[in-house]
């Protein structure tokens, strides 16, 4: 049984930092679709029916949300420490797209933490307590998925296009090296 979302990083040889981050968005979007289907499945079944299947799906959900959360924290760190400082030299940091992305990172970090706590509790409960927590987990999960999709779309459509047009080849190369160092140190 596959309990991994496979949101792995792009190949280390890829020299374009924007492509690396965009590819990671694509893999994250695939992971979110998988999680969303599992949320819908769990939400559609009363806990008394297909109990065994529910338990399997719940434990998958827990693993996936934990993995997603870990991966997103790393992804945000990579953007914040490798890409944004270089881009800020061109467009500033506080007022503008970088400031907006940083605020969204904060909100999504907190949403992911909340969601992760919820799914971990869910797996320990049964009966009506479990059903109540499932409703919370579904609601928080759907909101977090929507936030993440919107955030990544803004980066793909706006921020990364500015990066692509602004950064020199040398700067891009430096950003890629920094992305790789951060990833290596964290994983
Ligand atoms: Fe981001
Ligand atoms: Fe991103």
Distance 155 CA to ligand 2 centre (A): 6
User: Quick one: pLDDT at residue 5?
Assistant: 64
| pLDDT > 50? residue 1 | no
> pLDDT band for position 26 (50/70/90)?
very high
| Residue 70 · residue 6 · CB < 8 Å | no
Distance 49 CA to ligand 1 centre (A): 40
| Residue 123 · residue 58 · CB < 8 Å | yes
| pLDDT > 70? residue 130 | yes
Nearest-ligand number for the alpha carbon of 156: 2
What pLDDT, in 10s, does the model give residues 64-84?
999 999 999 999 999 999 999
Distance 10 CA to ligand 2 centre (A): 13
Mean pLDDT of 109-117: 97
| Paired tokens of 98 | 């970088």
Distance 128 CA to ligand 2 centre (A): 38
Distance 50 CA to ligand 1 centre (A): 38
CATH of domain 17-186: 1.20.120.520
User: Quick one: pLDDT at residue 179?
Assistant: 95
Helix (H) or strand (E) holding 95: none
Distance 49 CA to ligand 2 centre (A): 39
What span, in angstroms and rounded, lies between the C-alpha atoms of 150 and 160? 14
What pLDDT, in 10s, does the model give residues 10-24?
455 657 999 999 999
Q: Could you tell me which residue, 10 or 127, shows the higher pLDDT?
A: 127
């Amino acid at each position: 049984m596959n309990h991994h979302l496979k949101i792995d990083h792009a190949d280390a040889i890829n020299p374009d930092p924007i492509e690396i981050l965009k590819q990671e968005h694509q893999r994250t979007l695939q992971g979110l679709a998988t999680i969303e289907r599992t949320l819908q499945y769990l939400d559609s079944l009363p806990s008394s029916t297909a109990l065994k299947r529910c338990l399997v799906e719940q434990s998958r959900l827990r693993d996936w949300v934990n993995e997603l959360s870990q991966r997103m924290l790393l992804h945000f760190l990579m953007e914040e420490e490798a890409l944004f400082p270089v881009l800020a030299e061109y467009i500033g940091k506080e007022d503008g797209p970088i400031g907006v992305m940083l605020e969204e990172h904060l909100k999504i970090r907190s949403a992911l933490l909340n969601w992760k706590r919820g799914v971990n509790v869910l797996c320990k409960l049964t009966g009506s307590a479990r059903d109540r927590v499932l409703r919370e987990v579904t609601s928080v999960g759907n909101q977090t998925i929507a936030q993440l999709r919107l955030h990544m779309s803004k980066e793909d459509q706006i921020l990364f296009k500015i990066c692509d047009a602004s950064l020199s080849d040398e700067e891009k190369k430096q950003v890629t090296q920094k992305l790789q160092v951060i990833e290596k140190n964290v994983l």
